[in-house]
């Protein structure tokens, strides 16, 4: 009996390491590919390549803990597609990381890179660990051992990791140093999102949030939604959500509600975002912020707002809460925050969604700038980087919007059409070797 995905028109010949009954985030990606396939014309003959990651590496990551014991952690690096260039994608440290999740994230990176037309394929990595339970020395040992284990498939021209959930520029510095020690030379281009002093790029820290704001503001303009006075709700106030909230507030919008892992707050007149960001930096959460009233977690989805920015984790907007969302515009700062069923509900209700695969592509766009600067050893000003970022993001949204209008599809499907055509055309031109 074949291992296939139930409940869709297309039968997927699944690899043996997947369970058809519990596909997780990878199943969402497969459904998204199914939706775009009818628009691919002759390139559809290659579409099965999108449903199979090119390479999956699962590694054991043993480290000595501070108490002298040895602990083992499960690590992954998935390269989904490299037809257009080396793999590119973040590394996340989270206790709920799974192979399905990393596969889906790598696949979404393939789509994202192609959508903004940077010359990368899609990749992703992760370790199944709660980093908050590790000391700083343990975190460093974990990072260095993981880097050594995946070192056989990463490199400046092969696969370039970057920060993601619970990783940052310090983790990237450890990864870069470990890889450099193993190859016998300083290889700054092996990772992006590094400290400035180690070849990092100006503007990289704010890039994803700035990209969310850039495409969000442009989408709002196109649907006649003025930013001045617009009510914004943000889920997740980390690097992406925090920067996006700050930029929307500076543009005159009112950020009225914020939810994170430990709390949810509301203020009808608008939150003081700089003060809230200082509070989060000091206390680790929005919980306890005195200049706002607490809000029940589930009530967040009922918040009266014009713009909703999910900037936390996957599968947050589902068919269970999609009917309750009051926003006219959703800008996906997180990867995969909306399930296909919720997508359909929101589309039927006339809610415009700017999908993750274009909305949060600012980070990889400036990562591309960082990679180019590392290779040339010539670095640009922050103003130049931000101007280039805005130009790339607006250009990508223009192309996607045109396809959506021409074919009468959602922005998500239009983004997949643009990206999949670019990926599969490259596959078609390269052919199969041998």
Indicate the DSSP class of residue 312. S
Beta bridge partners of 311: none
pLDDT value at residue 19: 82
Strands (E), 154-219: 159-163
Q: H-type helices in 251-330, by residue range?
A: 273-283
Q: Which residues 6+ apart lie within 8 Å of 110 measured at CB?
A: 50, 80, 81, 121, 122, 419, 423
Q: What is the DSSP string of 369-421?
A: HHHHHHHHT----HHHHHHHHHHHHHHHHHHHHHHHHHHT--HHHHHHHHHHH
Dihedral of the CA atoms 421, 425, 428, 434 (nearest 10)? Answer: -110
172: helix, coil or strand?
helix
Taking the chain (434 residues) in consecutive chunks of 10 residues, what is each chunk's mean pLDDT?
44 77 89 94 96 97 98 98 97 95 95 96 97 97 98 97 93 98 97 96 92 96 95 92 95 94 91 94 89 89 95 89 95 92 94 95 95 95 96 96 95 96 97 93
pLDDT value at residue 244: 96
Q: Do the Cβ atoms of 234 and 309 come closer than 8 Å?
A: yes
C-alpha 41/C-alpha 421 separation (Å) is: 9
Q: How far is CA 270 from CA 233, 258, 286, 318, in A?
A: 10, 10, 14, 27
C-alpha 77/C-alpha 315 separation (Å) is: 21
pLDDT value at residue 11: 55
Q: What is the reported pTM?
A: 0.91
pLDDT value at residue 433: 93
Pairs from 246-251 (Cβ < 8 Å, separation ≥ 24): 246/209, 246/273, 246/274, 246/277, 247/209, 247/210, 247/213, 248/213, 248/216, 248/217, 248/307, 248/309, 249/273, 251/213, 251/217, 251/227
Enter the tokens of residue 396.
């990508």
Give Rg (Cα) of the chain: 21
**Is 124 marked active-site?**
yes
CB atoms within 10 A of CB 249: 19
Q: Which of 124, 194, 246, 394 is flagged as catalytic?
A: 124
**Pairing verdict, β 55-64 and 70-81:** antiparallel
Best CA proximity match to 311, nearest among 364, 365, 260:
260
181: helix, coil or strand?
helix
Strands (E), 55-109: 55-64, 70-81, 87-94
Beta bridge partners of 92: 126
CB atoms within 10 A of CB 22: 10
């Amino acid at each position: 009996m074949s291992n296939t995905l139930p409940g869709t028109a297309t039968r997927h010949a699944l690899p043996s390491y997947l369970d058809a009954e519990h596909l997780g985030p990878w199943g969402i990606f497969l459904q998204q590919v199914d939706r775009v396939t009818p628009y691919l014309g002759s390139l559809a003959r290659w579409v099965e390549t999108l449903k199979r990651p090119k390479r999956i590496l699962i590694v054991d990551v043993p480290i000595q803990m501070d108490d002298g014991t040895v602990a083992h952690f499960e690590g992954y690096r998935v390269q989904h597609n490299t037809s257009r260039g080396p793999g590119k994608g973040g590394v996340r440290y989270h206790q709920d990381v799974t192979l399905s999740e990393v596969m889906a994230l790598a696949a979404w990176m393939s789509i994202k890179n192609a959508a903004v037309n940077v010359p990368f394929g899609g990749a992703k990595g992760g370790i199944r660990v709660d980093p908050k339970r590790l000391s700083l020395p343990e975190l460093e040992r974990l990072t260095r051992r993981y880097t050594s284990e995946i070192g056989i498939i990463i490199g400046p021209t092969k696969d370039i990791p970057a920060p993601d959930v619970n990783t940052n520029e310090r983790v990237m510095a450890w990864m870069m140093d470990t890889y450099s020690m193993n190859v016998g030379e300083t290889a700054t281009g092996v990772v992006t999102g590094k400290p400035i002093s180690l070849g990092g790029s100006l503007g990289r820290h704010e890039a994803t949030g700035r990209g969310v704001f850039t495409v969000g503001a442009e989408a709002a303009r196109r649907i006649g939604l003025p930013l001045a006075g617009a009510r914004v709700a943000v889920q997740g106030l980390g690097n992406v959500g925090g920067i996006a909230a700050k930029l929307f507030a500076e543009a005159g919008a009112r950020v009225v509600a914020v939810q994170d892992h430990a709390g949810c707050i509301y203020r009808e007149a608008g939150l003081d975002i700089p003060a809230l960001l200082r509070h989060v930096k000091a206390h680790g959460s929005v919980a306890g912020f005195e200049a706002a009233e607490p809000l029940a977690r589930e009530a967040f989805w009922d918040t009266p707002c014009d713009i909703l920015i999910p900037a936390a984790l996957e599968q947050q907007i589902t068919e269970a809460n999609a009917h309750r969302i009051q926003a006219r515009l959703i800008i996906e700062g997180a990867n995969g925050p909306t399930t296909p069923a919720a997508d359909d509900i929101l589309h039927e209700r006339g809610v415009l969604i700017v999908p993750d695969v274009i909305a949060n592509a600012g980070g990889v766009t400036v990562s591309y700038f960082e990679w180019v600067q590392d290779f040339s050893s010539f670095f640009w000003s922050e103003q130049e980087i931000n101007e280039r970022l805005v130009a790339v993001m607006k250009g990508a949204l223009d192309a996607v919007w045109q396809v959506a209008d021409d074919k009468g599809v959602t922005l998500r499907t239009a983004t997949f059409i643009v990206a999949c055509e670019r990926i599969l055309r490259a596959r078609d031109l390269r052919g199969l070797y041998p």
